[in-house]
Amino acid sequence: MKGTIGILTGGGDVPGLNPAIRAVTFRAIREGFRVIGLRRGWSALVDLERDKDADNSHCYQVLTEDQVNRAGRTGGTFLHSSRTRPSHLPKPIVPSHLSDLYNDEINDVTPEVLKNLEFLNLDYLIAVGGDDTLSYAHRLHEEGVKVVAIPKTMDNDVPGTDYCIGFSTCVTRTIDLTHKLRTSAGSHERFLVIEVFGRYAGFTALLPAMAGAVDRCVIPECDFEIEHLTELLCYDRRQNPSNYAVVLISEGAKMKNSMSFEGEETDQYGHRKLGGIGDQIASRLKKLSPNYNEGRRINVVSQRLGYLVRCGEPDAIDSIVPMAFGNIALDLILSGSSGRLVSLRNGCYDNVPIESIMGQQKVVDVQKYYDHERLRPKYGTFERLPLFVITGDG
């Protein structure tokens, strides 16, 4: 046996995670490796008990070809996931067997993670996640762990790659669901307000708009005036033979220099849960619409797509890209390389230093791709742009 590879998925689930696990496992086993699936993201390496007689089945499992082949046809992650951050672990979730050693309000249990990796005899670790999950993978790389990172997130905002697993399915579902919701908006001659994921980057709103799914879109990179949006949508409604208009709203969109949060609680990466901006905008549109509609109020359909775009099976691209990413991860391991991020750059599969994750935040280049006055995408030359047009860095 050449060694043991561990693989984990962290952060929010997206379609394409199971195909990535399948690709890694198939290739690794056939190359002579043993593969261990670490369960529930980084929490597996926090909760593990270093006792050969302990039941650690909740933390890891040995993967087989048959198991991952069946799971690889499905969405989500059969290894499960979490937003655990071992370097910032709150006291209430420190495992009982570590509570004597770590009893601060926030604890860095990385020393235990390193010991647990050694206990499992892992030669390489493959981490599949977004910038939060992969930032801790970078931390382990700095600690000397042989790490390979695979990017996934619907927001498509991991630096260093043009594409992250889950993005295509998210865009496909957004377009499909938007067209389905049109029937209700058109039947009642209303505005249709649709809220989608996108904390800091507006790719998931702007690309469906570029594909013609909506009349207007609002993204986190630019503050907007609600009165201006209302005026534009009233114009769009008048131009539509069915007398309705559609706008797509990123969850991180800022109206009058504010963001909409569902509560004060934050996760271990310091993020408050976003949500509700769509309903706020819908309410304001309804109130302001008489000003631009000859005194008559326009009612609004408001819908947050939420988990509808991240559940279920992956589309074709999110079945193919994870397969390629998994095989590139094995190529790196077979060549003795680590500390790398698997990437897709300028239409070609590649890899970059894992430090790329810690670079400048990846957001929409507003000057190139967004018309702030019209609240619409800009259309210029598409020559030599990536497959998804607006997803390249810089």
Helix axes 277-288, 226-239, angle to 10 degrees: 70
The yes-or-no answer to whether 3-165+313-358 and 167-309+366-377 have a common fold is: yes
Which of 364, 362, 387, 390 lies closest to 158, judged by CA? 362
In this prediction, residue 389 carries a pLDDT of 86
Kindly give the confidence (pLDDT) of every residue in the chain, 394 residues in length, as a single tens digit, with 9 standing for 90 and above: 899 999 999 999 999 999 999 999 999 999 999 999 999 999 999 999 999 999 999 999 999 999 999 999 999 999 999 999 999 999 999 999 999 999 999 999 999 999 999 999 999 999 999 999 999 999 999 999 999 999 999 999 999 999 999 999 999 999 999 999 999 999 999 999 999 999 999 999 999 999 999 999 999 999 999 999 999 999 999 999 999 999 999 999 998 755 444 555 665 655 455 558 999 999 999 999 999 999 999 999 999 999 999 999 999 999 999 999 999 999 999 999 999 999 999 889 999 999 999 988 899 999 999 999 999 999 988 888 888 888 655 4
Query: C-alpha distances in angstroms, 32 versus 28, 145, 146, 329?
Result: 6, 21, 18, 15
Contacts of 101 by beta carbon, 8 Å cutoff, 6+ apart: 112
Which of 79, 19, 90, 91 lies closest to 44, judged by CA? 79
Q: Which positions are annotated as active-site residues?
A: 155
In this prediction, residue 391 carries a pLDDT of 62
Q: Are 4 and 34 in contact (CB under 8 A)?
A: yes
Q: What is the 3-state secondary structure of the chain?
A: CCEEEEEEECCCCCCCHHHHHHHHHHHHHHCCEEEEEECCHHHHHHHCCCCCCCCCCCCEEECCHHHHHHHCCCCCCCCCCCCCCHHHEEHHHCCHHHCCCCCCCEECCHHHHHHHHHHCCCCEEEEEECHHHHHHHHHHHHCCCCEEEEEECCCCCCCCCCCCECHHHHHHHHHHHHHHHHHHHHHHCCEEEEEECCCCCCHHHHHHHHCCCCCEEECCCCCECHHHHHHHHHHHHHHCCCCCEEEEEECCCCECCCCCEEEEEECCCCCEEECCHHHHHHHHHHHHHHHHCCCCCCCEEEEECHHHHCCCCCCCHHHHHHHHHHHHHHHHHHCCCCCEEEEEECCEEEEEEHHHHHCCCCCCCHHHHEECCCCEECCCCCCCCCCCCCCCCC
End-to-end CA distance of the chain: 43
Q: Would you list the domain boundaries of the chain?
A: 3-165+313-358, 167-309+366-377
In this prediction, residue 385 carries a pLDDT of 85
Task: Quote the pTM value.
Answer: 0.92
Contacts of 8 by beta carbon, 8 Å cutoff, 6+ apart: 37, 38, 39, 41, 42, 44, 79, 125, 126, 127, 128, 129
Cβ count near 370 (within 10 Å): 24
In this prediction, residue 381 carries a pLDDT of 86
Helix axes 17-30, 317-334, angle to 10 degrees: 40
Query: C-alpha distances in angstroms, 126 versus 4, 74, 154, 351, 381?
Result: 11, 20, 19, 14, 37
- The rounded distance, in Å, linking the Cα atoms of 348 and 384 is 12
Tell whether domain 3-165+313-358 is in CATH 3.40.50.450: yes
Q: Report the relative pairing of strands 147-151 and 340-345 from DSSP bridges.
A: parallel
Residue 301 has φ and ψ, to the nearest 5°, of -95, 120
**Looking at the domain covering 167-309+366-377, what would its CATH class be?**
alpha beta
Question: Two tokens at 381?
Answer: 């030359």
Residue 375 has φ and ψ, to the nearest 5°, of 55, 50
